[in-house]
Structure 1
Amino acid sequence: MSKNIDIINQYESVVRSYVRNFPTVFTKAKKHKMWDEDGKEYLDFFSGAGALNYGHNDDHMKQKLVDYIMNDGITHSLDMASTAKADFLQKFQDVILKPRDLDYKVMFPGPTGTNTVESALKLARKVTGRTDIISFTGGFHGMTIGSLSVTGNSMKRQGAGIPLQNTVTMAYDNYVDHDTLVYLERFLEDNGSGVAIPAAMIVETVQGEGGINAARFEWLRKVEEICRRWGILLIIDDVQAGIGRTGTFFSFEAAGIQPDIVCLSKSLSGYGLPLAVTLIKPELDIWKPGEHNGTFRGNNHAFITATAALDFWKDDSFEKEIHQKSEIMYSFLQKIVADYPEIKGEVRGRGFMVGIASEVEGLAEKVTAKCFEYGLIMETAGPNDEVFKLFPALNIPKEDLVKGLEIIEESVKNLVKDPVAN
């Protein structure tokens, strides 16, 4: 075993997780590849759990960041004004919001996904004067107390150590056989249901940690309609599904909805640097100065790379490329399910956020372990780790995408052929 692995095992808390699934010491990463200390090369179909949608160490972003650092640009400034922040805000307006006819104020909470969710929940309660939030089965929204309260995963919720209150969980799309929103609306209509009119509903259009469950556009439009009818704010958590992961910059674009609040983080900086924003409809921006803040809400290095990353979105060519390659992935997964019925698989997701759910207990974990052995990094998802989840960089070349898919098929084939040995 590596000396560095020994150090980590000895000194790092047992809460560590990914190092258990990928038991090697990584030393270098570039684009869609990583290398360990033995020089072994890996294709990265993990992408930092969605924080590296453009791959590792993009040259354009790196050069902008190096230049900024070498010129002694501001590193830390809380929410004071900086040229890095102003440049990002202007470019985000020009490249992302205006072309999509979206009007949002941009709030900088703390720099992580759970920070933007916490600010969204707090603002919804402040605006409406109501307490409860409706969330959905399978949802994952973060690890701090407010975010955990709207998260479905039982193991994660238990980690809070206290009751998680003021939330109501409703059935996500296709959670049951009948229309889940008929059931939800009945709760709102019935004064005897025990469910008060909430401040907001929070939803992921595609659930990442929950098992790559993709809501139908029709369902999402109905959620928006219900929110409008009842005066409920609609929060879209786009922390993992956003920034192109489902094929468009925002995951909700294809559904034609306009949320009241949008949560973004993970790949927003483009470079893996911590950065989060909460997008707020202007009429909802009723904060008092400093009412929600955080020491690292002004991450200027992340502003620099985030501004550079927006160059990918200056026209529609990048989006078209994502769609073309996502069709290759989806077709491949459908073929795997058809060719290997032993895995009892179901294809899930959309865009570059896809996977196969298997009814065979433990299969998804075995597939990811075998892929790692063959030089492909990929993780599982779902409440029982029943899904192996494909998250390649959006700009991965087609030939390397296909190479990764071939490794997945070889892993599945190997496991099906000799399940006892594996």
Structure 2
Amino acid sequence: MEIFNRVESEVRSYCRSWPTVFKSAQGSHVTDESGRTFLDFFAGAGSLNYGHNDPRIKQKLLDYLAGDSIVHSLDAHTVAKREFLRTFQEVVLAPRSLDYKIQFPGPTGTNAVEAALKLARKYTGRETVVSFTNAFHGMTLGALAVTGNSVKRGGAGIPLNHVHTMPYDNYLDGRTPDFLLFERMLADSGSGLDRPAAAIVETVQGEGGLNPASADWLRGLADLCRRHDMLLIVDDIQMGCGRTGPFFSFEESGITPDIVCLSKSLSGYGLPFALTLFRPELDVWEPGEHNGTFRGFNPAFVTATAALEYWTDDELEKETRVKGERVRGALAEIAAEHGGELRGRGLAQGIAFSDTGLAGRACAAAFERGLLMETSGPEDEVAKLLPPLTITDTDLATGLEILRESVAAAREPQPA
């Protein structure tokens, strides 16, 4: 691994937790160059909801490339884009009675967030955006401004302005009514809160510690935004595409956001791809006003269209709910034995430990035992599970048992 240490920037992170060189992957398994296979409870940070190299999706991609089909097209019309738009409309939007325009903002989640923030400000003519404690929305400056983590914010090197942070659901441990501070500051001309253009929220805060917002809280936020003429942006980049069960994580709450950000598992294959969805009346862009060289990546259109076959019925959603309950039961046993608080929803779950170093030690012990997983939370206090939605029951049970063993090993006295 000398070449990585000598040439690659110190900014690299995941490789420090997984000191090996990966070579191949299939389904829920990743193999390194020595031939050792790991069970994957990370899934590309939620970018591989359908596992590695799904055979059906892969074949669609291979056929497309073998036909000398167009790969790069900026925002020109292509056959691949047309098929994606048609399929997304028929399979995702229409059955949910969602009337959204679709923007291809660039290839990553932070591009989707930047487009959402920019559009909200353009449409309303206001500058301030409200975000929430422990939020994570991306690493470019606009998205970073609405992110809570102080280490990531500090990397900006400049002031991150035109945002205001409010408490996320249960941030104050139920000691105050929901939105008491938010409502009061909106009503008080002396509060220092300029009239916001929008509020941006995750239904489950992934990087912030797997903090789930209740359906009541989300409905309350949607109502507050409506009454105060603010747009509601849902960042569904990590929790969308079925991670919590339904395709959109906000479906269970019954809300309809004004703007939705999607990426990660949208391509279905780990290819860069992102969307910003918004109500048609918000489409006030001038041609080319927000663009990007890789906003028309045709191979991702192809794999995303193929992945949407998983959503032509509700079988994957049902399976995810069942697996999520199985995970919750296993984590409850581990938490009861070793201390900890359950976090998350669906197949985005974990345990928050009061010993903030325990989660990291448990993940390191899991790697030694052949399981890939990560930590999250402001102090990396949460051992976080993001297995592929398509993981087999056997692999899920095996991974949960490895996690149990790893937490127990991490609780043993550490060498002085």
Q: TM-score range by the shorter chain?
A: over 0.9
- Partner AA of 2:29 in structure 1: K
Distance apart, 1:421 and its partner CA: 4.6
- Partner AA of 2:395 in structure 1: D
CA contact (8 A) 2:362 2:409 kept: no
After superposition, what is the alpha-carbon deviation per residue over 1:122-176, rounded to whole angstroms, capped at 9, x for unaligned?
A: 0000110111000000000001010011000001111110000000000100110
Aligned-CA RMSD value: 0.9
What are the residue-to-residue correspondences of 1:283-362 with 2, within 5 Å? 283-340=281-338, 344-362=339-357
Q: Which of 396, 414, 419 is residue 413 of structure 2 equivalent to? A: 419
Q: Which of 9, 13, 18 is residue 5 of structure 2 equivalent to? A: 9
Q: Which of 146, 151, 162 is residue 147 of structure 2 equivalent to? A: 151
What are the residue-to-residue correspondences of 1:33-44 with 2, within 5 Å? 33-44=29-40
Segments of 4+ moved more than 6 angstroms = none
Cα distance in 1 for residues equivalent to 2:409 and 2:298 = 47
CA contact (8 A) 2:261 2:276 kept: yes
Cα distance in 2 for residues equivalent to 1:212 and 1:221 = 19
Q: Which residue of 1 aligns with 2:104?
A: 108
Distance apart, 1:197 and its partner CA: 1.4
Q: Which of 382, 404, 407 is residue 387 of structure 1 equivalent to? A: 382
Cα distance in 1 for residues equivalent to 2:415 and 2:36 = 24
TM-score by structure 2 length?
Answer: 0.98
In the alignment, does 2:218 pair up with 1:220?
yes
Cα distance in 2 for residues equivalent to 1:419 and 1:102 = 54
After superposition, what is the alpha-carbon deviation per residue over 1:40-65, rounded to whole angstroms, capped at 9, x for unaligned?
A: 11000000001111110000110000
CA contact (8 A) 2:137 2:144 kept: yes
- Partner AA of 1:318 in structure 2: L
Q: Which residue of 2 aligns with 1:399?
A: 394
Identity, % of aligned pairs? 60
Where 1:234 maps in the other structure, the secondary structure is strand
Cα distance in 2 for residues equivalent to 1:250 and 1:25 = 34
Distance apart, 1:361 and its partner CA: 2.7
Q: Which residue of 2 aligns with 1:242?
A: 240
Q: How many residues align?
A: 414
Q: Which residue of 2 aligns with 1:137?
A: 133
After superposition, what is the alpha-carbon deviation per residue over 1:215-235, rounded to whole angstroms, capped at 9, x for unaligned?
A: 011000000000000000000
Where does structure 1 lack aligned partners over 5 or more consecutive residues? none
After superposition, what is the alpha-carbon deviation per residue over 1:361-410, rounded to whole angstroms, capped at 9, x for unaligned?
A: 30000000000000000000001100010000000001110000000001
Cα distance in 1 for residues equivalent to 2:397 and 2:37 = 16
- Partner AA of 2:368 in structure 1: E
In the alignment, does 2:31 pair up with 1:63?
no
- Partner AA of 1:110 in structure 2: G
After superposition, what is the alpha-carbon deviation per residue over 1:61-92, rounded to whole angstroms, capped at 9, x for unaligned?
A: 10000000000111000000000000000000
TM-score by structure 1 length?
Answer: 0.97
Distance apart, 1:18 and its partner CA: 0.6
Cα distance in 2 for residues equivalent to 1:55 and 1:180 = 38
CA contact (8 A) 2:198 2:230 kept: yes
What are the residue-to-residue correspondences of 1:112-191 with 2, within 5 Å? 112-177=108-173, 178-191=176-189
Cα distance in 1 for residues equivalent to 2:17 and 2:410 = 18
Where 1:354 maps in the other structure, the secondary structure is strand
